[in-house]
Amino acid sequence: MAEVEKFYLWSNEHVARMPLSTCVLSCHGLSDTTVPPYNAAMFANRIPNHTLSLIEGADHNFRGKFEELTVVVLDFFQKHEHNQYQRAISMGQGSGLIIPRWIDVDGVRNFRDIGGWPTKDKAGYIRERVVFRSANLANATPDGIERLIKLNVKAIFDFRYDREVEKNGILREIPGVSHFAYNMFEEGLKTPEDAKAHLMEYLKGEEGFANSYMFIVETNKKLIGNIFRYMSKELSPKDRSAMVVHCSAGKDRTGVFIMLLLGLCGVDDEIIAREYDLTSLGYFGFEKDLEKRAENMGLTVENLRAALSASVGGMRLCIQQLRKKYGSFEDYVRDKCGLTNEEVNLIRELMIVPIRFEERQLHRPRM
């Protein structure tokens, strides 16, 4: 009895919030005695972009009406699949394209597009195919390099320190692509002992991650400012040029820069943290030889695994500390990195695709 009451009280109000870009077809038999036709009319009136087809003489199971039902369904798909442009224009959309975030660059781990995330005010979203992040590019195969060229990459910023470069190498020279060696640990990690001490910070949990990330923020103001200036001068949405930022795993140093960029563009703090956490999916190579590496460093396997993993809580805490110390992302890049208001605006124009007010209902809310 409780299940019947639950079914009876079930609300279908959520269907009214379906976006206009979702087209719905309902087929209902006029001779249906199980579910009366007026139920279909109720849904048709609630769903924004709905087509209702009432089939005369059809019962609940469409007995004897299969051919007619098939024609209705096929005609619906024919109409909506082969006239996407006109459908988009009729709904006020400029385009309706879904672009993959993860990109297969052969020989490279954790390569992804940072575009597509909405801004907090819902007035825009981060432009795709402008900034990519990844792990070390040194092992990119010829096919991987060809993919970088097709992505219109014109600049690569390598955040690794010298010992990492000596050990793992660098990407071979690509005509038309500038390579910038921007060691983010130049100010703080001079010796192997310094590197180990920095790694040990990550063993202190979320607070250790946050402190390590703030160390990167505080010791790389000039370097970060130079990258932002390059973006404002050399990249343009008109020519669709792009850049890649990377370190060894594409997690910490790369994650801090992407945090600053997305924060400057007005992306929600939680989305920034979750974007950072995608590295847990994209970089799966740190398990290799983990036991041997832990032994060499005098650590347990569990501690080293924790240090090499992404910490969403650590990123959240870092953002809080940054706001507390500098006021905002904009204050940091303007007052500490030396960017002008014009340069900040140019970066936002590059990175943010504005959404017209009348189109905002077509974009899904942040989950």
Name the more confident of 21 and 72: 72
Give, to the nearest 10 degrees, the angle between helix 221-234 and helix 206-219.
70
Name the more confident of 199 and 7: 199
Query: Is residue 156 very low, low, confident or very high in pLDDT (cuts 50, 70, 90)?
Result: very high
46 vs 9, 72, 73, 330, 364, CA distance in Å?
Answer: 17, 21, 21, 43, 18
Q: What share of the chain is helix, strand, coil (3-state, %, to 5)?
A: 50, 10, 35
What average pLDDT score do residues 295-315 get?
79
Please report the pLDDT score of residue 92 as a whole number: 43
pTM of the shown model: 0.71
The Cα–Cα gap between 18 and 22 comes to 7
Please report the pLDDT score of residue 358 as a whole number: 46
The Cα–Cα gap between 283 and 103 comes to 13
What average pLDDT score do residues 13-41 get?
78
Whether residue 272 is predicted with pLDDT greater than 60 in this model: the reply is yes
The Cα–Cα gap between 121 and 118 comes to 8
The Cα–Cα gap between 146 and 124 comes to 31
What average pLDDT score do residues 190-211 get?
83
Whether residue 94 is predicted with pLDDT greater than 80 in this model: the reply is no
What average pLDDT score do residues 121-148 get?
94
Whether residue 364 is predicted with pLDDT greater than 70 in this model: the reply is no
Tens digits of residue pLDDT in 347-363: 999 999 988 654 554 54
The total number of residues written for the chain in this structure: 367
Least confident of 31-35, 103-107, 149-153, 190-194: 190-194
Mean pLDDT of the residues in the chain? 85
Please report the pLDDT score of residue 115 as a whole number: 93
**Residues whose CB is less than 8 angstroms from the CB of residue 283 and which lie 6 or more positions away in sequence, other chains included:** 109, 110, 135, 249, 250, 251
Least confident of 81-95, 131-145, 167-181, 204-218: 81-95
Q: Domains of the chain by range and CATH?
A: 2-90 (3.40.50.1820), 112-362 (3.90.190.10)
The CB density around residue 158, as the number of other CB atoms within 10 Å, is: 23
Please report the pLDDT score of residue 140 as a whole number: 97
